[in-house]
Amino acid sequence: MTETLFCYTCRVHHPLEQMCRVRTRRGFRWRCRRSIEAAQCDIGERDAFGKWQTELNRENAQQLADRVFIPRPERRLQR
């Protein structure tokens, strides 16, 4: 099993080989190399990366919600 770490920028777990430790005001955090490279691009490319990552996150969240869905039993009204 490969170890994964959470990237605070794109909010996804990545393999350890794709991560870098970044110093922030509050300490160290893990960030993926892909997001670091995207931040060094011009504004248009950076915005495109952000929109693409947001769409990926939405799709993953929807897939997870579809998988985890547990139907509730119907409630009968009591009279």
pLDDT of residue 20: 93
pTM of the model: 0.56
The residue ranking higher by pLDDT, 41 or 19, is 19
Instruction: Answer yes or no: is pLDDT of 1 > 90.
Output: no
Average per-residue pLDDT in the chain? 86
Contacts of 14 (CB under 8 A, 6+ apart): 4, 5, 7, 32
Per-residue model confidence (pLDDT) at position 28: 94
Q: What is the mean pLDDT of residues 16-42?
A: 91
Binned at pLDDT 50, 70 and 90, residue 77 comes out as: low
Q: Cα–Cα–Cα angle for 33, 20, 24, nearest 5°?
A: 110
